[in-house]
Amino acid sequence: MSLTFTPEIKEEFAKMADKRLKFNENALIILKKRYLQPGETPVNMLDRVSLGNVEYYKMMADLDFLPNSPTLFNLGTGKGTYSACFKYDIPDSMDGIMDVARKAALVQKWGGGVGYYFGNIRAKGAEVKGTGNHAGGPVGFLRMYNAIGDVITQSGKRAAAQMGILTAWHKDIKEWITCKSEDPDALSTFNISVSATDLFMKKATSDVPNKDGQLLDMIAEAAWTTGDPGMYFYDTSERTNPTPHLGKLTGTNPCGEVPLLDNEPCNLGSINLRNFANPAGFDWSRLAEVTGLATRYR
């Protein structure tokens, strides 16, 4: 698949097609398995993703920079999303919980990851007024979202990637911390983290023994055993929140690089720093040029 470009752009691409591509054999195998559209070649893929911008094409062909996977999967196809991941604050209602499940499934369908903030969900066993039932709690719904990710993985292009975050002072936090301890593979699509405020950390690290310190010890022990949970320092993120009037940064994308608002995406990419090193040192000016083109600040 290739977009329709002007004769000048087609000519420039033709000049570069054979001599500029630097994908090795392993890269070509992965491209064919995951990224190329039916009948598409690597050159066609770069044509599609560059949207006619020759500089952008050159940057990708030289492997100076590549955008995140959903961009490579979907840009120029008229389908899917181009963002790497989305983050959702899960409401404490069945309608809200299932709406987030629907959005998460669609994001994962097109190769993206999902982060969730579970702190609004009431504790396990709490009364659900109007039905006479009792709440399943954050860990119960964590398992539900994990099952959705598993199903998408079986038919999708790559494994699902999800992040679940729960505040340290939630009533179900101990169950959250230890939910991977008995069977780490049971929640294989998820990273999980504990959201800690400055006040929690101050209490947990004080010289006086207290329940917050015991909780921090539990977090450390579980992380040593299974790799989870991680820690999300909420107040630190809020101090650098560029848009506090739009909402709180209650959680992150699945890999934890970017604190995000509710319904906010992140758009990731990778710069190959090896390409900027040379016997004379490091080419900072070319790095600035590539960074500017990759992030479109000019």
Q: Which residues are tagged catalytic?
A: 253, 255, 257
CA distances from 18 to 150, 157, 237 (A): 39, 27, 46
CB 284 within 8 A of CB 273: no
HEC per residue, the chain: CCCCCCHHHHHHHHHHHCCCCCCCHHHHHHHHHHHCCCCCCHHHHHHHHHCCCHHHHHHHHCCCEEECHHHHHHCCCCCCCCCCEEEEECCCCHHHHHHHHHHHHHHHHCCCEEEEECCCCCCCCCEECCCCEECCHHHHHHHHHHHHHHHHHHHCCCCCCEEEEEECCCCCHHHHHHCCCCCHHHHCCEEEEEEECHHHHHHHCCCCCCHHHHHHHHHHHHHHHHCCCEEEEHHHHHHCCCCHHHCCCCEECCCCCCEECCCEEECCEEECHHHHEECCEECHHHHHHHHHHHHCCC
Residues 6+ apart with CB under 8 A from 68: 83, 84, 267, 268, 269
